[in-house]
């Protein structure tokens, strides 16, 4: 495993663990498993916990990717941020749709489906970050 891939695994894995911890704390202790009412809209507690986790781990993930993993990229920072945001949204939808296909269409056990989905999403994310979000422009 090359150094860049190793850094990707460590930073991404660490940020994923942080996301799960924040989700757990938000869901159980901040929201206390209750619906979050914000005026005209209400969020189920797990959705609100996801948003809380996302708001914290998104910038951390971007900064780790920019300054630790993909340090050779010469794409402008704001372009990287925009591309990273789009990538994260695509990964969320990819995760959702892969899970639905594996569980509902192929009738694979949900935990195995999540493992397969995680592998697909990580591979897609790595390739997209390397060749699009944080690519090195040729001079």
Sign of the Cα torsion 16, 18, 20, 26 reads: negative
Does residue 50 have a pLDDT over 80? yes
d(CA 131, CA 116): 23
| Per-residue model confidence as pLDDT tens digits over 55-114 | 999 999 999 999 999 999 999 999 999 999 999 999 999 988 998 899 899 999 988 988
Residues 69, 8 contacting (CB under 8 angstroms): yes
How many C-beta atoms surround the C-beta of residue 134 within 10 A? 22
The whole-model pTM stands at 0.85
Structure-block tokens of residue 66: 């920019």
Report the alpha-carbon angle 50-122-82, nearest 5: 65
């Amino acid at each position: 495993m090359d150094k860049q891939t190793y850094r990707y695994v460590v930073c991404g894995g660490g940020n994923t663990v942080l996301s799960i911890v924040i989700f757990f704390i938000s869901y159980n202790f901040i929201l206390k498993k209750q619906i979050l009412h914000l005026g005209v809209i209400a969020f189920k507690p797990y959705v609100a916990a996801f948003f809380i986790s996302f708001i914290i781990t998104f910038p951390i993930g971007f900064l780790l990717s920019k300054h630790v993993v993909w340090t050779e990229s010469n794409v402008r920072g704001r372009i990287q941020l925009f591309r990273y945001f789009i990538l994260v949204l695509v990964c969320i939808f990819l995760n959702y749709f892969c899970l639905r296909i594996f569980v509902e269409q192929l009738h694979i056990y949900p935990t195995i489906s999540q493992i397969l989905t995680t592998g697909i999403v990580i591979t897609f994310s790595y390739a997209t970050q390397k060749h699009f979000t944080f690519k090195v422009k040729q001079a």
